[in-house]
Amino acid sequence: MPINQAAIEMQTRVVEQMSAKDLEPLLPEIIPGLLKVRGTELSRTFFYYP
């Protein structure tokens, strides 16, 4: 399992336990990291050169 995937799964478990009221102020910190990781994963998928 890639390191990023493990971190995302852990973050998901934490977020699932939070109320929307508590989560909303944290979204500006959480979302950019998820987008960055997702962009990296997509780059690896579409531009893989063996």
CB-based contact 21:47 (threshold 8 Å): no
Q: What is the pLDDT of residues 21-46, one digit of tens each?
A: 999 999 999 888 887 776 666 555 55
Please determine, for residue 19, whether its predicted confidence score (pLDDT) is greater than 70.
Answer: yes
Residue 25 has what pLDDT?
A: 95
Q: Encoding tokens for residue 49? A: 């050169």
Give the separation between CA 33 and CA 39, rounded to whole angstroms.
10
Residue 46 has what pLDDT?
A: 53
Give the separation between CA 9 and CA 39, rounded to whole angstroms.
17
- For the chain, the domains span 3-46
